[in-house]
A and B are shown apart, each in its own frame.
Chain A
Amino acid sequence: MAIDQSNEAPVRTVSKRELFLGFLKIGLLGFGGIAPWARHVIVEERRWLNEKEFASVLGIGQILPGPNTMNAAVLIGDRFQGIVGVVLCLVGQMALPLVIVTVLGVIYERFAAIQEVQAGLAGAAAGAAGLVLGTAVKMARKLKPTPLALAISLLAFGAVGLLEWPLPLVVAVLVPIAIAAAAIDGRA
């Protein structure tokens, strides 16, 4: 992938406090999937990682079991502050969502039937879907993938998004192909 200004490595350290507060924000905002919010806070707002580093961390998080963003939180926490950083990132990411989901669980029965609530939730869900789509497009523009890398992206998208094949199978098949493609391109 070509290197442009947005892909230059931000050389910086991130304190324990910054990690915790950053992931607290990501957890609180992370409606409809955390990845776009994690990218917004980590790449655009606080510049802990550049576009390419973030995509790479997310990619590693994706092929491991568990939510990709939770694995990314582990990798990012360890990178900046070791094992304490890992715990801070994970607690930060989970604390507010756990409180909110419990409160929603208590009030759900009472409000679920209200039409305005349903419409609001449907609107928010549609917006969250758009957020994920837009984030993918934005990342693609900044990463400037080679034709071969783009082909890998489209294969993954087609298999999981269009054909709805099981993710573990697609990952198992595509990871070796993706690595071979990187080697052919001379990307590493």
Chain B
Amino acid sequence: MLDLLLQIARVFAVLSLVSIGGANAVLPEIRRQVVVQGWMSDSAFANVFAISHAAPGPNIIMVSLVGWQLAGIGGLLVATLAIMTPSCILAFVVGRVIARWSERRWTRLLREGLIPLALGLILASGLSMMRMADHGAITLIISLGTAAFVVVSRRNPLWAIAAGTAANIVMLQVT
């Protein structure tokens, strides 16, 4: 058991430091590790992927679920801490460095320069999520309707998502 926990910790701690872009960027590598280590079958991993996308939270939560299925609550905690700790410590250190030299021109340029990049990447992830969620005209309308709601309204976007969920269930009955 301890061996398994250590193995989980080692695999995910390494992935943590290479996961630029979060879980989506390292998804193929997570899948490879999990299947190659003989921890899970492909179809079991596909289930984990589906479940983690139905849950809220950062998408690396899929790693927590892998840990949980392998070794219960201990596995969940070890996997979660392993995937979080290295990248969070790095972010902490980098954040302190940037704050310390916040008046230097290079840190101001870095912060200013990254704003348009962040914007473009959010737009890109919206598009790729839309591609994954696209099951025809109705889901497309739900996506665009929710986008319009968010742009024009300051209300909680949950209203729009709840409406989309309900609409898709209703359409199932109608069609």
A interface residues (Cβ-Cβ under 8 A, vs B): 1, 27-37, 40, 44, 52, 55-56, 58-71, 74-75, 78-79, 83, 86, 90, 93-94, 96-98, 100-102, 104-105, 108, 112, 115-116, 119-141, 143, 145, 149-150, 152-157, 159-162, 164, 166-168, 171, 174-175, 178-183, 187-188
Contact = CB atoms under 8 A, between A and B. Distances in A.
Contact of B88 (A44, A70, A104, A152): A70
Interface of B: 16-25, 47-48, 50-61, 64-65, 68-69, 76, 80, 84, 86-88, 90-92, 94-96, 98-99, 105, 108-130, 132-135, 138-140, 142-151, 154, 156-158, 160-161, 163-169, 171-172
Contact of B22 (A66, A127, A149, A180): A66
A71 to B, nearest CB: 4
A70 B147 contact: no
A153 B119 CA distance: 6
Contacts of B53: 32, 125
A126 B164 contact: yes
Nearest to A76: B95
B151 A137 contact: yes
A153 B59 contact: no
A19 to B, nearest CB: 15
Contacts of A83: 92
B111 to A, nearest CB: 4
B56 A96 contact: yes
B56 A27 contact: yes
Contacts of B48: 105
B61 A120 contact: no
Given A66-B16, A123-B142, A156 B120 contact: yes
A45 B22 CA distance: 26
Contact of A74 (B95, B114, B127): B95
A34 B58 CA distance: 6
Given A62-B118, A70-B87, A130-B144, A121 B113 contact: no
Contacts, number: 379
Given A134-B150, A167-B21, A70 B119 contact: no
A105 B128 contact: no
A17 B163 CA distance: 32
A59 B113 CA distance: 9
27 contacts: A1-B115, A27-B56, A64-B90, A70-B84, A71-B87, A97-B61, A100-B56, A100-B57, A105-B51, A116-B169, A119-B171, A124-B54, A126-B168, A128-B133, A130-B149, A130-B150, A133-B147, A133-B150, A137-B151, A149-B115, A153-B119, A160-B124, A160-B128, A175-B114, A182-B112, A182-B113, A188-B111
A75 B163 CA distance: 34
A65 to B, nearest CB: 5
A126 B108 contact: no
Given A29-B158, A131-B161, A167 B52 contact: no
Contacts of A36: 122, 150, 157
A86 B163 CA distance: 34
Contacts of A116: 169, 172
B116 A66 contact: no
